[in-house]
Structure formats: structure tokens, C-alpha cells
Amino acid sequence: MRTSAAVRAYLTHLSDVRRLSAATVRAYRSDLDDLVRALDDPEITAIDVEGLREWQWRAAQSGLSKATAARRASTVRGLFAWAGETGLVTADPSARLVSPKRGRTLPAVATEDALSDVLSEAAARAREGDPLALRDHALLELIYASGARVSEICGLDVDDIDHQRRTLRLLGKGDKERVVPFGLPAEHALQAYLVRGRPALRARAVESDPERAESAAERIGSSRGRGGAASPGGGASPSSRPRGSARAVFLGAKGARLNPRAVHALVSRTVGPRLGTEALGPHALRHSAATHLLDGGADLRAVQEILGHASLGTTQIYTHVSAERLREAYRLAHPRA
């Protein structure tokens, strides 16, 4: 089988069987398409370790980072592991492919005071009653309060919020569902948006395309009428429920489900200046939430559960962030530092 055909089958396996996110599958596709082009699409059994090393060397010469090179090596190992399991190959050339060691880069974290200022400014704009300002305030509060990923926040439906318990039901990587708490400030901002902001944005969707809005509502009603699988907290399970805008919590300016790019732009515009950079995404709020939880004495396992990390090792990077902040405070404050 040609490598390109094997790649297509492997990507289908990742999407349909392993249920990886669309963004993850796109990253795999990008790496493997580059491999196919570099090796001129040979039979998959003809690929050897020398060809893979040549591919990695060319990438290094083009200026790709060590982290990218390590990811590409991992992608190729995944392909050949799957190819071995399905009987496409009998030998794994990627087993001898050496990955460059990644340098540890600590995530960008805003201080509690800086985020307090950002959220206060967002609250002041929201008090003017503009629907987008109400939405932005609720977004910032909720991401920081819950440590949710941007995809999880954009995928949030109104049925996923338990206002009485102040919890969110989030659908994370690999369709893994978890319930996370959020605080009273986020609840107040969310209620203001749901009462005064979301209806106005939803009306824009109905005005621009009333037939589409009506059909989306009918699909939701029919799916519940058929008795779709229930999830803890009520409502259809996140993996089975419709993904239209009719039940979406956060809406864009035209009334459609909010796009992650819009959240990225919001965080870059509001939080970025506090960290001295505009190249900042919503993950900065997630990083900050995790670090501030640990600074406040939260258990590492609890933070792992809140963030939805599969491995505790992923969460442990935030202990290094907290240690760096502790050392800096010591250096500034102690007379013999």
C-alpha cells in the first residue's frame, strides 16, 4: 500500500476509533502529508529509518523547533504502530528514530492582581449593557474560574451549566466528560450575559436566517424526544447532542456559536498587554487558573481533575511555575537572597 493511502486510513482511525479532536487530527495530517511529499509517496513497507532521518534533518535545516521535531517523530511512531497492528508492515523503522529533547518552557501566567484588573475592566464595560461586552466578561470570568480549554468553552451548551451547584459539564479531549466547579463572580457574570446578552445575540441569528434557526430548534427537540443518552446533570450526552448555535452558551456577533479564534483575539486584546505580549491565547487563563490554584494550596490531583489532564505529569509543570514565582518573591524580599 502506498504511504498516502495508509495515512488516510490512519487518520480515519484516529478520528473515528480513537475519537481524537479535529485539531489533533489536522496536526497529524500536516506532519504525515509532509512525510509523503518528502519521500515521494513510496510503498509504506519501503520506508526505512534512513529516509525518516533525512526527513527530520531537512526539517531541522528549515528552522523547525525541537518541540516540532519531537512531535513529528511521535506522529510517525503512531503511524507505524498502527500499521504494525493492522498488518501493513512487519518492521517498524520509526523505532530507531531519535527525538530531540524538548526544552522546558514554562507557560505564560498572569498575576492575580493583573487578572483582577482585567476582569474589573471587563465588568465595567459589561455594565453598559452591550451584549458583546456582557459576553466577553462572562467568557473571561468562566475560563479563568474553571480552567477550561477554549474548545470546551466554545462547545458549552446551556444544559451543561448547573447554576445551583455552580458546575460546568465539559467535553474534553477524546470525548472525555468531566464536571468542574466555578465561583460566584463567574456565576454573576454568566447570569447577566444569559439574561441580557445572549437573547440579543440569539435574535440576530433568527433575523439573519430564521429558517435555519427554526430547523436547529426542531432537531434539538426531536433528539430529546427520541430519548438520547443522558449525562450526569441532565440533557443529552455531549458527544451525541447537536452542535448548532440554538443551545450554545456563547454566541458570536451574528448569533452563531462562538469561534475559538474570537476567544483568542479577546484574550490577546485584554490579557496580553498585562504580560507584555499580544501573542497570547486563551490557554494563558487556563495556565493562570492552574498556577493560582496551586499557589492557594490546592492538591495536585485536584488540579489534574479540574484541567482534565490524562497524566499527572502534564499538571506538574505548574508546580515549576509556582516554584519560579516563589524564588522570585524570595529574591526580592529576603535580605540575604
For residue 62, CA distances in Å to 56, 57, 58, 72 come to 10, 9, 6, 14
**pLDDT tens for each residue of 323-333:** 666 666 667 76
**How high does pLDDT run on average in the chain?**
81
Domain CATH number, residue 148: 1.10.443.10
165 φ, ψ (degrees, to nearest 5): -90, -10
* Residue 108 · residue 142 · CB < 8 Å: no
Residue 253 has pLDDT above 70, yes or no: yes
Q: Are residues 83 and 199 in the same domain?
A: no
Q: What is the pLDDT of residues 65-113, one digit of tens each?
A: 777 888 888 999 999 999 999 999 998 999 888 776 665 666 678 888 8
- State yes or no: is 264 an active-site residue: no
pLDDT digits (tens, 9 = 90+) for 40-66: 999 999 999 999 999 988 888 887 777
Do 138 and 269 sit in the same domain of this protein? yes
Residue 322 confidence (pLDDT): 67
Q: Is 66 a catalytic residue?
A: no
Pair 44, 119 in one domain: no
Q: Is 334 a catalytic residue?
A: no
Helix (H, G, I), strand (E, B) or coil at 233: coil
38 and 158 in a single domain? The answer is no
Looking at 71, 77, 125, 173, which residue is catalytic? 173
Given a cut of 60, is residue 288 above it in pLDDT? yes
In a domain, 106, yes or no: no
Question: Is residue 163 predicted with pLDDT exceeding 90?
Answer: yes
Active site residue 28: no
Task: Please indicate, yes or no, whether residues 309 and 162 belong to a single structural domain of this protein.
Answer: yes
The CATH number for 11's domain is 1.10.150.130
56-91 in b/e burial notation, b at 16+ Cβ within 10 A? beebeeeeeeeeebbbbbebbbbbbebbeeeebbee
Report yes or no on 129 lying in a domain. yes
What residues contact 241, with CB distance under 8 A and at least 6 apart? Answer: 157, 159, 220, 223, 228, 235, 247
Over residues 232-243, the pLDDT tens digits come to 334 444 444 445
Please identify which of the residues 178, 224, 283, 325 carries the catalytic annotation. Answer: 283
229 located within any domain: yes
Q: What's residue 243's pLDDT?
A: 53
Which residue bears the cell 489536522? 26
Q: Name the active-site residue from 13, 178, 309, 325.
A: 309
Q: So what's the pLDDT on residue 262?
A: 92
d(CA 133, CA 188) in angstroms, rounded, equals: 14
Q: Give the whole-number percent of the chain exceeding pLDDT 70.
A: 79
Its pTM stands at 0.63
Q: Write down which residue in 67, 96, 125 finishes a domain.
A: 96
Count of structural domains within the chain: 2
Residue of 72, 137, 149, 169 marked catalytic: 149
Rounded to an integer, the average pLDDT of 197-220 is 63
Residue 131 has pLDDT above 80, yes or no: yes
Q: Which residue, of 96, 121, 145, is where some domain finishes? A: 96
User: Domain limits at 19?
Assistant: 3-96
In a domain, 337, yes or no: no
173 is catalytic: yes
Residues 149 and 239 in one domain: yes
**166 carries an active-site annotation:** no
